[in-house]
A and B are shown apart, each in its own frame.
Chain A
Amino acid sequence: MATENTERIFDSNDTARQERIKQLKRGVQSFTQNKLSVIGLLMILTLVFAAIFAPYIAPYPEDAGPGVNYDQASQPPSLEHPMGTDTTGRDIFSRVLFGARLSLLMGIVVLSIAISIGVTLGLVAGYLGGKTNTVIMRTTDVFLAIPPTLLAMTVVAATGASLINVMIAIAFSWWSWYTRLVQGEVLSIKEDEFIESSRALGSGWFRTTFKEILPNVLSPITVKATLDMGFVILVGAGLSFLGLGAQPPTPTWGAMIAQGRNYVTSFWWIAVFPGLAISFAVLGFNFIGDGLRDVLDVEVN
């Protein structure tokens, strides 16, 4: 009797697992059928590879720092310097590689903070409803009423320019999008039967929201987070372009463009290549996000 039951449980577990594997396979298949998303994935893998191995790939790794090499100053792109050199003679290609580290770090840190705050608040607001919902969603509306770049700029101005402050400032202006997204999703599935049965089994609100509801709202969060990786990199680049990010000689892409901006009439390559790197990174995440949106069949705005 006992063995029979256990077998049956194993059976149903097996079918559930098989079903999940089948779903996953289908997902991977439709993702790989989308050419753009495969290209995007390759782009981001390249970027991650470049970021991790920057010290080994970079032809002049010491140029990531404050190095000065005036006899090599402002050289146009050549075999020796694929992206040319800046006005103090540093190899731009090497600096762009090191910049990839900072941009990816920025995206990951900002989104980790923004998603933890935003998703938690969205779950709580949507599930508890009532006054809690009103307070949280009104606060969210306020944050949504200021463009993220401006809010982040204001916060950095108040706290002082540095890499860590910029990351906190962007996260501070970003969580509200996730709150709104998740709250909407929770409202739409809150009355579903599986939630009710979980409650009937005696789960408290904490268990119900995090164990039952959260897994069901992961798809839109994943899609939005992928797209947002690109947008956070854009906003971060904008802030470091204004001199509000990591301070020199840290090779952030935005700061490199700011330096090159003063020489557009004579040395175009100084501003152009770091900008291409930003576009490459953001485009990669957008390609993946676009593909994921089709695979997971969700709409996020």
Chain B
Amino acid sequence: MSYVDYIVRRGFQSIPVVFGLSVLIFVISRVIPGDPVRLALGPQASQQQVEKLRAEMGLDQPLPLQYVDWLAGVLQGDWGMSLRTNNNVLSDIVARLPATFELVVVTLFFAVLLAIPFGVVAGTNKDRWQDHLSRITALFGVSMPRFWVAIVLQIIFVVSLGLLPLSGRLSDGVVPPPAVTHLFLVDSLIAGQFGTFVDAAKHLVLPAFALGLATLAQVMRLIRSDMIDEQRKDYVLAARAYGLPNNLIEYKYMLRNAFTSSLTVIGLAFGFLLGNAFLVEIVFAWPGMARYGVQAILYQDFNSIVGITIVVGVGFVSANFVVDLLYGYIDPRVRLEEN
């Protein structure tokens, strides 16, 4: 199967998931919360008013028809109004997405960057102290609640040591760089404002650490076990017999294979970071989508909640799709197996 065939085939496989996701979100948003008309009009509304609004909102139609209407609206960008901000939900989310995206991407990048050397060292020193240390660190890393780690980091690095800013994306008085990508790190570099870049970077350190600790731990453990699997293979033995330097064998040949199988988890991690950013953003008053979503939940602002769920769900499915594409590109056997 050619690579293009593989992409198309894999793309078609995502369709039922996205379709199912839209049904699930529709059911949660329209069926569970009870009667939206009663909610909107309050308990004193007359039966006539209720029926009139119900017809206006299309709620007198059978559910499948309502679903089609709803989906058509979502596809055309009509995500409804937010009860809290009185804006179109889609534009609210689009305005907040870059902050969350920047946080998640920076977190994932550094988590993977640090996980690689730690995982390689643990894997090539199986059952020695490096391995035990990495195991215990990883178990601690996945066991501590991220929002609590965030608070502890604030207590240590902000309150006690005064090294880093408490919250937000930029310090008071620092003007956001001219918007190109809406990612402050990138935009400040484009504009040549290095002061702003440093300020934005400082604000990212603690949220990224709190958010990424568990991901770092997971990826590290995965690279470790994949490195151990690689070590048993013939090509490694051959390379050693040829007298190639250890570092070259480990970081060039073994790591490439080990990393390929870790890709799936990294893709999954992207979705999970997106989902877990909620709690960390709250602690750091990060002006992102997740914080918007949490506020929407506290205010029972249903259109916004549905919007956030759509964005994160589609982000999750897309991340898996991209991972599979990379996977099929790096390791052509994956494409053949599909037959």
Contacts and interface: CB of A to CB of B under 8 A. Distances in A.
Interface stretch (A57-65, A119-127, A178-186, A239-247): A239-247
Contacts of B297: 153-154, 156-157, 242, 244
A147 B21 contact: no
B17 A154 contact: no
A284 B19 CA distance: 39
B317 interface: yes
Q: Chain A interface: which size bin?
A: 35 or more
Interface string B275-296: 1101100110000000001101
Contacts of B155: 264, 268, 271-272
B4 interface: no
Contacts of B282: 242
Nearest to B313: A146
A244 B298 CA distance: 8
Interface stretch (A46-54, A135-143, A201-209, A216-224): A135-143
Contacts of A264: 151, 154-155, 159
Interface in A278-301: 278-279, 282-283, 286-287, 290
A1 interface: no
A278 B142 CA distance: 12
A118 interface: no
Interface in B127-168: 135-136, 139-140, 142-148, 151-152, 154-155, 159
Nearest to B279: A238
Given A147-B271, A264-B154, A283-B139, A158 B29 contact: yes
A171 interface: no
Contacts, number: 144
B20 A279 contact: no
Given A154-B28, A242-B282, A242-B298, A278 B145 contact: yes
Contact of B17 (A145, A149, A153, A286): A145
Contacts of A290: 135, 139
Interface string B17-53: 1001101110011001100000000000000000000
A24 to B, nearest CB: 26
Contact of B21 (A36, A142, A272): A142
Contacts of B145: 234, 237-238, 241, 254, 257, 275, 278-279, 282
Residues of A contacting B: mostly: helix
Interface in B256-313: 271-272, 274-276, 278-279, 282-283, 293-294, 296-298, 300, 302, 305-306, 308-309, 312-313
Nearest to B301: A157
Contacts of A145: 17, 21, 313, 316-317, 320
Nearest to A231: B142
Nearest to B309: A154
A16 B59 CA distance: 64
Contacts of B33: 158-159
Contact of B140 (A139, A278, A279): A279
B280 to A, nearest CB: 10
B283 A147 contact: no
B265 to A, nearest CB: 8
A155 B297 CA distance: 10
Interface in A224-268: 230, 234, 237-238, 241-244, 254, 257, 260-261, 264-265, 268
Most buried by A among B25, B147, B271, B275: B147
Interface in A29-45: 36
A5 B129 CA distance: 57
A257 B150 CA distance: 11
Given A147-B274, A153-B278, A260-B151, 7 more contacts: A145-B320, A146-B24, A146-B312, A148-B275, A155-B32, A157-B300, A158-B29
7 closest Cβ contacts across the A-B interface? A147-B275, A275-B148, A142-B20, A282-B143, A158-B32, A283-B143, A157-B297
15 contacts: A146-B316, A147-B275, A149-B278, A150-B275, A150-B308, A154-B28, A154-B305, A157-B296, A157-B302, A234-B145, A264-B159, A271-B155, A272-B152, A279-B143, A286-B143
Interface of B: 16-17, 20-21, 23-25, 28-29, 32-33, 135-136, 139-140, 142-148, 151-152, 154-155, 159, 271-272, 274-276, 278-279, 282-283, 293-294, 296-298, 300, 302, 305-306, 308-309, 312-313, 316-317, 320
Interface of A: 36, 138-139, 141-143, 145-151, 153-159, 230, 234, 237-238, 241-244, 254, 257, 260-261, 264-265, 268, 271-272, 275, 278-279, 282-283, 286-287, 290
